[in-house]
Amino acid sequence: MFNAMEPGTIVPIQRHRDTAETMIEVGGKLKLTIYDYEKNIIEECVLNPSAGNYGYHIPKGVWHGVEVLAPDTVMFEG
């Protein structure tokens, strides 16, 4: 699935109990935040194809959230 988003879009903290998720950034820029089970931040990464940071694999059950940082952000989620 492709998601097109604009700056200010925030995908709340979530997890997928039964499936993993792979995010591939096609255009724009977003910040992906990974949390532990108490929802403390354990990792942040900026996906930005212009800087060579294209994707991230999130194992099933891992808490994560997204914040869009640039106009015309498009992400493939699979």
SS3 (DSSP) at 67: strand
- Give the predicted TM-score (pTM) of the model: 0.91
Q: How far apart are CA 66 and CA 50, in angstroms?
A: 18
Token reading at 14: 């979530």
pLDDT digits (tens, 9 = 90+) for 19-71: 999 999 999 999 999 999 999 999 999 999 999 999 999 999 999 999 999 99
37: left (phi over 0), alpha (psi -120 to 50) or beta: alpha
At 17, the pLDDT band (50, 70, 90 cuts) reads very high
| All structural domains of the chain with their residue ranges | 1-19+30-39+52-78
